[in-house]
Structure 1
C-alpha cells in the first residue's frame, strides 16, 4: 500500500508499483475491493440499450460494482521522453485481470498533438478476442473543437462520449437509450495542471435530475508522478447497472486520462499534470 495517499481521502489503495523499473500489477484477492461512496442500486430502470454478447469478462463486469484500470508504465517513454502508445489492464472487483487495452495512434500525432491526439483504442480479453473498441475524434491540434469518443461492440456503435470546448462535463449518450449521463470534473482537475498532481480526484457520474450513480476516481500516484504519467483509476457503480453502461464508463475513463493526466509539462485546453 502506498504511503503517499492523503489521509483525507477515503481511497486508500494505489496499485501502482513503488520500485522502478519493475512494474507489479495488482494481485488477485479473496475479498472484493472496498468502495467508498458506493451507490447500492440504480435509482430507476434504464431501457433501450443494446445488449452485449456474453463473454467471461462481460459476465464478470456484470456481477461487479467496481473496476480498476491500471495504466502500464513504459520504460522507453521514461528513459527517452518519446511518447509511446498507452497500454492498460482492467481488473474486476476481486483484482482479477479480465481485459487488456492498447492505443493505436500515429507517432506524429503523439509527438505534436500530445494529450489532444486522436486515437483508436482496442480492448481484448484473455483469449485475445476483441471485446470492444473506441475511437477519439475532434481532438488534434485544433483546441477549439469538441471532443468525442465513440465506442463499438461487434461492429455496432453503442455509445458516444462528448465534451465541448472549455466544458468541465462529459456527456455520455448510450445508443438507443433516452437517459443521458454526465461525468463532472472536480474543481482541482479544472484548475491549473499543478493542482492535479498528488491528489485523489473523483469524477462523479450523474443522470438527468442530478442523481449520482457512480464515480471515476484517479488515485493519488504518490511519488510515481515524478517518473511517469501512468495512472490508476477506480470506476464504481451500482451492481445492477446495465453492463453496457459499465463498459461505457470504463471507456470514458480513457478520455478523462488523456484530457487531464496524459502529458507532462504541457499547458492548454484540457491540460495535464506536471510531474
Structure 2
C-alpha cells in the first residue's frame, strides 16, 4: 500500500503561486513535480461479482507517496445499465480530506463515437479548482480510429492535444508495453508531456480492471495546466479503457 504524505508539502515558489492564484494551497504541491502516478484501487466486490462499483484512485508522486485521492460519485442505476454513458463527478482530495479539484461529466445517450467526437457524441470533462471555479475542460475530438482529446483553458482556448494509438490493448500474450498518449501543442509540432497506461502485471491486468497511469509534464509548467492534464488522464481512462472493460476487451469504443 502506498504511504500517504501526512502533511501536504508546501514546496511553492512565489512566482508559481501567483500563476495559480485562487487554487487550493495543497494543489500547489504539483508546482515542483514533473511526474505523477495514478493507481486505480482494486475493488473486491467488482472482482468477485462483476458488479460495477464507483472507481477510486490514489495519486502518487514519483517516490510512491500518496499526494491526492480521487473518488467517483455516480448513479448506481447508470453504472449498472449504461456504464459507458454514465454521468459522474470525480472528487480529488488531499491527504487531509479537503477537496482540491473536481472533474464532471454529464450523462449522454451517445458518447465516444468515432465520427462525431466533436459533435453530439462529444465526451467532456469539466475541470474545477476550487469547486465552483472552472479551470477549463477536456473534450474528445473527431478520431476515426484513434482516441483524440483536446484540452481547453477557462477562456476556451485550445491548449493541448492528445492522440492515442489505433489499438490501445494490453494482454498477457505479449502486449505488455505502455500505451502512450503523447501530449502536444495544438499544432501537433511540439510534445510537452505524455499519458501512459502502464502494465501492472499478469494477475492485476488479467483478473481485475484496475488501471495504472503515469502522467509526465515539464516541472515549470503552471499548476493550472498540470491540473488540466490530470483531467485529460481521466478522460483517457473513461473514454478508452472504461469502454474496453465494458466491451469485455473488445475494443476501445471510439
- Give the TM-score band, short-chain normalised: 0.7 to 0.9
Residue 86 of structure 1, CA deviation: 0.1
| More off after superposition, 233-242 vs 243-252 | 243-252
Q: Is the 8 A contact 1:138 1:148 kept in 2?
A: no
SS at 1:62's partner residue? helix
SS at match of 2:150: strand
What is residue 180 of structure 1 aligned with on the other side? 159
Give CA-to-partner distance per residue, 1:74-114, whole Å, 9 cap, x none: 00000011000000010123322111110011112111222
Cα RMSD, aligned residues only:
2.9
* Conservation of the 8 A alpha-carbon contact between 1:63 and 1:239: yes
Alpha-carbon contact 2:112-2:123 (below 8 Å) kept: no
Query: Is 2:36–2:59's contact at 8 Å kept on the other side of the alignment?
Result: yes
1:109 aligned residue: 78
**How far, CA to CA, are the matches of 2:110 and 2:127 in structure 1?**
22
Residue 140 of structure 1, CA deviation: 4.2
Name the TM-score, length of structure 2 as normaliser.
0.79
Q: Are 2:188 and 1:206 equivalent residues in the alignment?
A: no
Instruction: Specify whether residues 181 and 122 from structure 1 end up closer, same or farther in structure 2 by C-alpha distance, changes over 3 A only.
Output: same
Check 1:107–1:138 CA distance in 2 against 1; reply closer, same or farther (3 A cut).
closer
Closer, same or farther: CA 162–185 of 1 in aligned 2, 3 Å: same
1:9-29: CA deviation from partner (whole Å, max 9, x where unpaired): xxxxxxxxxxxxxxx33788x
Alignment of 1:191-202 (within 5 A): 198-202=176-180
Partner residue in 1 for 2:36: 67
Query: How far apart, in 2, do the equivalents of 1:92 and 1:71 lie?
Result: 15
CA distance 1:207–1:195, shift in 2 (3 Å): farther
Cα offset, 1:187, TM superposition: 2.7
Q: Distance in 2 between matches of 1:184 and 1:141?
A: 21
1:1-275 pair list within 5 angstroms? 24-25=1-2, 51-56=21-26, 58-137=27-106, 139-141=108-110, 144=113, 145-154=121-130, 155-164=132-141, 166=143, 168-176=147-155, 178-189=157-168, 198-209=176-187, 210-223=189-202, 224-262=204-242, 263-266=245-248, 270-271=252-253
**Could you tell me the TM-score, scaled by structure 1's length?**
0.73
| Partner residue, 2:8 | none
Residue 237 of structure 2: SS of its match in structure 1? helix
Q: Which residue of 1 is the match for residue 10 of structure 2?
A: none
Aligned length: 227
Ranked by relative contact order (alpha carbons within 8 Å, sequence separation 6 or more), the top structure is 1
> How far off is 1:218 after superposition?
0.4
